[in-house]
């Protein structure tokens, strides 16, 4: 075997494994609802990426500070721009559109299997404003 073969084989072994990408659209309306993420709930594996797509430009995506796994890094996208986030820590991530948060524009990302922190996430959701509280409670009911 040539040295080129071994170099290629070692490069393939050392190459990082990239996870899947899931798109979540930020929309003014979808499925008869207004100011929504579509879908509002996604399950991904650690290392997967979620891209929040600015389909309608008046939205952003950012983490809800009270709804993050311990040690997870928060993120804040820019208004009217896509933002891609690779989720490495298992758990539940509450996501909001800051200008439409009180109108219920929230999403939930479950990373990995059903987390032990589900009760803490429910308690945090109960403190959210307006329609965000009701929407997040319905999203948390989908966690398996």
List, for residues 77-109, the tens digit of each pLDDT value: 999 999 999 999 999 999 999 999 999 999 999
pLDDT surpassing 70 at residue 4: no
* Residue 81: both structure tokens together: 């721009």
Instruction: Say which CATH topology domain 19-140 has.
Output: Immunoglobulin-like (2.60.40)
Mean pLDDT of 70-75: 96
Domain ranges of the chain: 19-140
32: Cβ–Cβ under 8 A, 6 or more apart, which residues?
A: none
């Amino acid at each position: 075997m040539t040295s080129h073969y071994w170099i290629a084989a070692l490069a393939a072994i050392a190459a990082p494994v990239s996870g899947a990408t899931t798109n979540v659209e930020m929309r003014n309306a979808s499925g008869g609802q207004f100011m929504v993420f579509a879908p509002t709930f996604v399950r991904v594996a650690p290392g997967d990426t979620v891209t929040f797509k600015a389909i309608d430009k008046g939205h952003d995506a950012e983490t809800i500070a009270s709804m993050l796994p311990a040690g997870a890094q928060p993120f804040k996208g820019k208004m009217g721009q896509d933002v891609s986030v690779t989720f490495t820590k298992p758990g539940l991530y509450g996501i909001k559109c800051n200008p439409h948060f009180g109108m219920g524009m929230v999403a939930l990302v479950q990373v990995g299997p059903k987390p032990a922190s589900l009760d803490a996430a429910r308690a945090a959701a109960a403190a959210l404003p307006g329609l965000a509280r009701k929407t997040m409670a319905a999203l948390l009911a989908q966690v398996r």
